[in-house]
Structure 1
Amino acid sequence: MVKVKKDADKTRAELIKELDALRDHNYRLKSVISRYERVLAGKGPEENHYDLETEKDSIESLRKDLGERLKEIDLKEEELAVQNEELRSRLEEINARSDEFARMNAALRESEEKFRALAESTNAGIVLFRGDRYIYVNPMVEKVLGYTKDELLSMNTWDIIHPDSRELVRRRGHERLQGLSVPSRYEVKVLTKDGKTIWAEFSAAVIDYQGRPTAIATIFDITERKRAEEERDRLFEYSRDILFIVGFDGRFKVVSPSVEKTLGWKNEEFLGKHFIDFTHPDDRALTIAMMKEHENGREAEFENRVLCRDGTYRWISWNAHPLVDEKMAIGVGRDVTERKRAEDELKAAKRQADLYVDLMGHDINNMHQIALGYLELARGTRPGAEQAALLDKAEEVLNRSAKLIGNVRKLQKLHEGAFQSRDIDVCKALADAQSEWGATPGKTITLDLHGHRTCIVRANELLYDVFTNLVNNAIKHIKDGKQIIISLDTTEEKGKPYCRVAVEDNGPGIPDAYKERVFNRMHQGTASDTGLGLYLVKSLVRSYGGRVWVEDRVPGDYAQGARFVVSLPAVNNKRDPSDQRDRGSSQA
């Protein structure tokens, strides 16, 4: 009989082999029984009985053995069924894992494709390296360094690092691999293929790439920025102005070396100190108010007196720009002590000039009145014709002197802003001025408003002086028998309404070379000119937002007379269709 192993840990192949052996043994047992049955079938009862008795034990043993073998076969088949189920489960698990691995591989390929697409389109240089060898470089690295991809992949990673920066890069890399906290970005010098040294900003990290620890680094070319910073540092070092950074708490964080040249303090004596510590007591309230502007995100421009190391004060003009997120302000301070001194001297000179003007306006005018009184007394003595003419000349000079003083005082008040603007009707101002001209012996003066009943401009009470000065100027320069015409028109300039007044005469005229100069303060056409009449006209007209010029009465022939034109912005005036077209001019 075949002996069957009882070990439950037999392999599937061993179990199948034993099962085949049992089946073969069972087959042989069945063959023996079948043979005996055939033999017994051919004998008589006695023989059969003898054979059965003789073979009884053998047959019983065979049957018993067969039963045991059949049970073992059943057990083996059950074990095989269990193992078949386990194999099926394992096969399903293997298939599932195979699908998962396929998906992971697909995702990995997609991720690598995205990485390459991003890396090869970015403006940053990107490298992957293990140890001292590159395993990937993007096109920007090739562009920055000048090497090809194949050249870089065959190079040692240290070949591109400048000797001055190698220790820094080595130390940072070692600390990063040890898991220590190191700055993610730092600046290093890099060598290009053509031997140049450039500045690059490195940002590095360790990642898992293709199942292995790999260093990834981004590289930005910051050479231009470093040059700008060096230029800034040179400016900071050599600037004559005080360059500074001050916190919102009022304390200096950075001060340029020029503070020593300007104020005598060493740089370190300023650092950490409060702005107010160096501010003149009378200027502290203003300084604190200006510093609060920084906290509101507004620039501050102001001047104050700052303490020098020798105990004196100098005027400094500050201009600071806030950096709200950093809670500080950067700015510049300029020494304006000499300018302030000049301003004080100018104010003193102005006060002195005002005193002289007041002196002319009051005391000298009083003398004029006394002199005019004596002239009247002299006329009462019935002088001869020659003496009377001399008296007239003296009176004329005194009157001109009085007008000059009047014009000076008007200019002074104009520059001081003493006159308030208001709406004034030019038609009425011309009509009022006409009464002063009156009947001028030997000269004809005509006012033509061209049918306009009103023309409003924004001016002040000195508009009257504009017209009287222009007419008086014409009266002075034409001979007897000549004519003066004052006319009013409305026109448009750049789409806006204007009121235009012209004073023309048929006197000797003004050559082109003098047309611009007649409005200058010091211009004198003749010995009798005071030089301030037309200058006052120009000053007033400009203060009204208008312009004044002189042109030929007959275009191209100055000898036929002059035309002075004043053009002023009109207020709510509509241009009359009958107005004349604009004429060519030479503006003062």
Structure 2
Amino acid sequence: MVDFTLDIADRMQAENALRESEEKYSTLVEQSLTGIYIVQDDKIVFANNRFAEIFRYSREELIGIESWRLVHPEHRDLNRDIMARRLTGEEAPSEYEAKGLTKDGETIWIERRNTRIEHNGRPAILGNVVDITKQKRAEEELRRINEKLKNFVDVVSHDLKNPIISIQGFSSLLFKKYQEQLGEKGRMYLEEIKGSARRMEILVSDLLALSRIGHVASRFKDVSSLKIVSNIISGLKGRLKDKDIEVVVGNDLPTVYCDETRIYQVFENLFVNAIKFTSGAKNPKIEIGYEDGGKFHQFYVRDNGIGIDRKYHRTIFERFLRLKEIEDEEGTGLGLAIVDRIVNSHGGKVWVESEKGMGATFYLALPKAS
């Protein structure tokens, strides 16, 4: 009799625990910020409140409806294929984005995550959905704005180049034919005009380069980084000689998979930057080397110049930022911003390690080809 009573008490305790667990599960599902559903035999057999809100149905209307009706025609094949592969145990994306359709026919964007479960003893799909329509619209609006900005920069750059070329041409002609008549002060003013035109030309070129990164298709191929660096040094030979800068290049610079034109610009901008930083150094020196960074090729450009205060280590890569300590008449403040944008478009990263007065080392990490 005692054993029987204990058995009933144990069973009641287990049932109460199960009921509490089910209530907690139900509350969790219904309070979830994500839409939760179960599909079996291509029909919805369960949907929580949030799922119904996203697709603008009542929960009663959703039960028994074919799941494909909630998917935009563009993505029905994709959705059907992923669910079928999931049910058969094949490999399928754990989460993906697809267009959906609400009850009133509006197109929405959904981020989906699903998995295979057993429901009432048979295979089914348990899914989670998040409405990302606002995010997608914001991204599209940003893309349109960026495209308009790029077109604007292209037009302005083109329209500015012609008068700049005219100013440079007529300035040179004026200097060549009338320098005696101009006198010393006139020649000085003319040099100022030519210098300003040259700076404007560089600024327009930098703006154009910055606007095209990520918009113009990159052409990736295997490229010798040593060849790139050697060509840059050859092109800057005059400036290096004038400033008596020693250059040291590592002999282990690897072949990298990249857009050669863009990465050439990265190394060139970093090298020119180092030349500026070493201005005034007693024994100016620039080193370009390589370290194996595992999944990344890690390069560095090191100088023994004025160094960079820690507070500028991130902002130095922003547009139009120029350090006051550097005397640079032709600089636009876009060189390092261009470097940062190109490296990011390659899936890499760039950063600086430096202390004021202790030189600077710029690191560049590019992913190795898989």
> Aligned partners of 1:156, 1:434: CA distance in 2, in Å?
89
Structure 2 letter corresponding to 1:373: G
- Structure 1 residue 468 and structure 2 residue 268: aligned? yes
Q: 1:299·1:319 contact (CA, 8 Å) conserved in 2? A: no
| Alignment-derived partner of residue 315 in structure 1 | 109
Q: 1:433·1:468 contact (CA, 8 Å) conserved in 2? A: yes
- Structure 1 residue 403 and structure 2 residue 205: aligned? no
| Alignment-derived partner of residue 377 in structure 1 | 173
| Alignment-derived partner of residue 354 in structure 2 | 551
Q: How do residues 477-556 of structure 1 correspond to structure 2 at under 5 angstroms?
A: 484-489=284-289, 500-505=300-305, 509-526=307-324, 529-540=331-342, 543=346, 545=348, 547-551=350-354
- Structure 1 residue 267 and structure 2 residue 59: aligned? yes
| Alignment-derived partner of residue 562 in structure 1 | 359
| Alignment-derived partner of residue 254 in structure 2 | 456
Describe the SS at the equivalent of 1:306. strand
Structure 1 letter corresponding to 2:359: A
Deviation, 1:509, is 4.6
Residues 14-60 of structure 1: CA distance to partner in whole angstroms, max 9, x if unpaired?
Answer: xxxxxxxxxxxxxxxxxxxxxxxxxxxxxxxxxxxxxxxxxxxxxxx
| Alignment-derived partner of residue 48 in structure 2 | 256
- Structure 1 residue 284 and structure 2 residue 76: aligned? yes
| Alignment-derived partner of residue 387 in structure 1 | 186
> Aligned partners of 2:349, 2:96: CA distance in 1, in Å?
34
Once the two structures are overlaid, the 10-residue window that deviates more, 521-530 or 278-287, is 521-530
> Aligned partners of 2:186, 2:278: CA distance in 1, in Å?
25
Q: 1:449·1:487 contact (CA, 8 Å) conserved in 2? A: yes
> Aligned partners of 2:23, 2:266: CA distance in 1, in Å?
60
- Structure 1 residue 424 and structure 2 residue 216: aligned? no
Describe the SS at the equivalent of 1:309. coil
- Structure 1 residue 444 and structure 2 residue 243: aligned? yes
Q: 2:30·2:49 contact (CA, 8 Å) conserved in 1? A: yes
Q: Which of residues 144, 150, 164 in structure 2 aligns to 1:348? A: 144
Change in CA separation of 1:270 and 1:357 when aligned onto 2, cut-off 3 Å: same
Q: 1:443·1:481 contact (CA, 8 Å) conserved in 2? A: no
Q: Normalised by the size of structure 2, how large is the TM-score?
A: 0.77
Q: How many residues align?
A: 353
| Alignment-derived partner of residue 126 in structure 2 | 330
Deviation, 1:330, is 0.5
Q: 1:470·1:564 contact (CA, 8 Å) conserved in 2? A: no
| Alignment-derived partner of residue 36 in structure 1 | none
Deviation, 1:443, is 4.0
Structure 2 letter corresponding to 1:320: N
- Structure 1 residue 229 and structure 2 residue 229: aligned? no
Change in CA separation of 1:445 and 1:424 when aligned onto 2, cut-off 3 Å: farther
Change in CA separation of 1:498 and 1:349 when aligned onto 2, cut-off 3 Å: closer
Deviation, 1:331, is 0.8
Question: Tell me, which stretches of 5 or more residues in structure 1 are unaligned?
Answer: 1-132, 137-152, 162-187, 191-197, 201-221, 553-557, 572-588
Change in CA separation of 1:569 and 1:270 when aligned onto 2, cut-off 3 Å: closer
Structure 1 letter corresponding to 2:109: W
Deviation, 1:337, is 1.7
Alpha-carbon RMSD: 3.9
> Aligned partners of 1:256, 1:569: CA distance in 2, in Å?
45
Deviation, 1:295, is 2.6
Describe the SS at the equivalent of 2:359. strand
Structure 2 letter corresponding to 1:502: R
Q: Normalised by the size of structure 1, how large is the TM-score?
A: 0.51
Describe the SS at the equivalent of 1:461. helix
Deviation, 1:322, is 1.5
Describe the SS at the equivalent of 2:265. helix
Deviation, 1:355, is 0.9
Change in CA separation of 1:305 and 1:464 when aligned onto 2, cut-off 3 Å: closer
Which one has a bigger Cα radius of gyration?
1
Describe the SS at the equivalent of 1:199. helix
Once the two structures are overlaid, the 10-residue window that deviates more, 539-548 or 395-404, is 539-548
Structure 2 letter corresponding to 1:415: G
Structure 2 letter corresponding to 1:313: T
Structure 2 letter corresponding to 1:395: K
> Aligned partners of 1:378, 1:565: CA distance in 2, in Å?
43
Q: 1:500·1:567 contact (CA, 8 Å) conserved in 2? A: yes
Deviation, 1:424, is 1.4
Higher relative contact order structure (alpha carbons within 8 Å, sequence separation ≥ 6): 2
Q: 1:443·1:482 contact (CA, 8 Å) conserved in 2? A: no
Residues 251-294 of structure 1: CA distance to partner in whole angstroms, max 9, x if unpaired?
Answer: 11111123443333111111111112333333333332233222
Q: 1:471·1:503 contact (CA, 8 Å) conserved in 2? A: no
Question: Tell me, which stretches of 5 or more residues in structure 2 are unaligned?
Answer: none
Change in CA separation of 1:425 and 1:239 when aligned onto 2, cut-off 3 Å: closer
